Structure 1
Amino acid sequence: MNRFRKSATIGSLVAVAALALAGTSAAQAAGTSSAAPWCTGDDLVIAAHDMRPTSNPDKGHVLSFTAAEGVTCTIGGSLSNVRFLDAKGQDMNVPLTGGQGQYTETTVHGIFASVVYIGSPKKSLSVTPAFIQFDLPGQGSLGDRITTAWPSWIGVPVQIGNIMWPVS
């Protein structure tokens, strides 16, 4: 089922997030459980948001993955087949770059959510998509295809990180 789906340089943000991830074992212990089933699109509320403006040369967005009411599930890795779509649902052919980062798995439930940080240069060609579309990671295969609303313009190319714990 389709669901309608920050900023230092994204590479720096992913590195900072990895360090924060290593230092948050208590939060991980509270938020992870290897017994939780793998997340599907129906298990998640997915939304894209603009991050707070900064003087950084990159514009940031965050894609949040929150558990639907009563759901506990595990998600990790990277999004596949990412596309930015116009209002008619047509692929805008926005170029994407690396920056996925280290593989991690997180368990979403209650107040514990996961995020993907997305960065793009402010001083470049820009486009204003209406939607972002991607395949969730699955276990051994692609997960559900998700299409969610996109909040604002992006510069090109776009750099997308892995699914991870939010950086505070």
Structure 2
Amino acid sequence: MTTSAQIGTVIACVLALAACGQAGEAPATKTVPSSPATPSSPTAPTTSSGWCRAGDLKISTSEGAGPSDIYRSFTINLESAKGSACTIGGTLSDVRFLSSSGTELDVPIAGGQQDASLAITVDPAHPAVVYLKAPKDAKPEPVKSISFTLPGNGQPGDPVLVDWIAPLGGPVQLGLIAAPVS
């Protein structure tokens, strides 16, 4: 990795942490039982390299220790689903928290609109994450799943539906897609 690529990776991690207010080591997490990402429309073809599509990724959610006494910390985990590599970067769009019946819940979203110019490679040894934080004192909604659209790199991204870990209230702040902080 070149020096400028290393600097770019460090900057992306700092931006992701700043967006979520986390510092230090990654929190201990509990993860929703593994289930592959479910495209909310017909599955797009997967790639063995190139830009990540929903079929290239195993997507899960987890909750960790909050970055402070006033926030809860969550992670959307993006891992290689097929043992191959693909590239992804930017922000998730069309983020919605859903009830068990699929009804959109009143969980406001804030953030996720930072500069999205850094892309990272996801492969079996290098997952990607999106860090989220939500106020601990917010009225919790009975969230059972989250839907969002993956970045599309100049073309429409894939819509995805994934199980969610716990009840949640907003406003929820989302970070950029980044390498996990270890």
Change (3 A) 1:10 1:154: farther
CA distance in 1, matches of 2:154, 2:112: 22
After TM superposition, the score normalised by the length of structure 1 is 0.77
**What is residue 24 of structure 1 aligned with on the other side?**
none
Residue 148 (structure 1) aligned with residue 170 (structure 2): no
**What is residue 98 of structure 1 aligned with on the other side?**
111
Q: Note if contact 2:60-2:78 (Cα within 8 Å) is conserved in structure 1.
A: yes
Q: Note if contact 1:9-1:56 (Cα within 8 Å) is conserved in structure 2.
A: no
Identity of aligned residues (%): 35
Q: How many residues of Structure 1 are paired with residues of Structure 2 in the alignment?
A: 142
Residue 84 (structure 1) aligned with residue 97 (structure 2): yes
Structure 1 runs of 4+ aligned residues shifted over 3 Å read 8-11, 99-102
Residue 69 (structure 1) aligned with residue 82 (structure 2): yes
Change (3 A) 1:59 1:94: same
RMSD of equivalent CA atoms: 2.2
Cα drift, residue 9 of structure 1: 7.8
Aligned 1:1-168 pairs, distance under 5 A: 10-13=19-22, 36-53=49-66, 55-103=68-116, 104-168=118-182
Q: Note if contact 1:83-1:93 (Cα within 8 Å) is conserved in structure 2.
A: no
Cα shift readout 1:1-34 (whole Å, capped 9, x = no counterpart):
xxxxxxx885423xx59xxxxxxxxxxxxxxxxx
After TM superposition, the score normalised by the length of structure 2 is 0.71
Question: Any stretches of 5+ residues in structure 2 without a counterpart?
Answer: 1-16, 25-48
3-state DSSP class of the match of 1:42? helix
Cα drift, residue 141 of structure 1: 2.7
Cα drift, residue 90 of structure 1: 1.0
Deviates more, 1:73-82 or 1:153-162: 153-162
3-state DSSP class of the match of 1:74? strand
CA distance in 1, matches of 2:19, 2:153: 26
Q: Note if contact 2:90-2:176 (Cα within 8 Å) is conserved in structure 1.
A: yes
Cα drift, residue 53 of structure 1: 4.9
CA distance in 1, matches of 2:134, 2:153: 29
CA distance in 2, matches of 1:126, 1:95: 12
Q: Note if contact 1:59-1:154 (Cα within 8 Å) is conserved in structure 2.
A: no
3-state DSSP class of the match of 1:142? coil
Q: Note if contact 2:134-2:170 (Cα within 8 Å) is conserved in structure 1.
A: yes
Q: Note if contact 1:128-1:154 (Cα within 8 Å) is conserved in structure 2.
A: yes
Change (3 A) 1:152 1:71: same
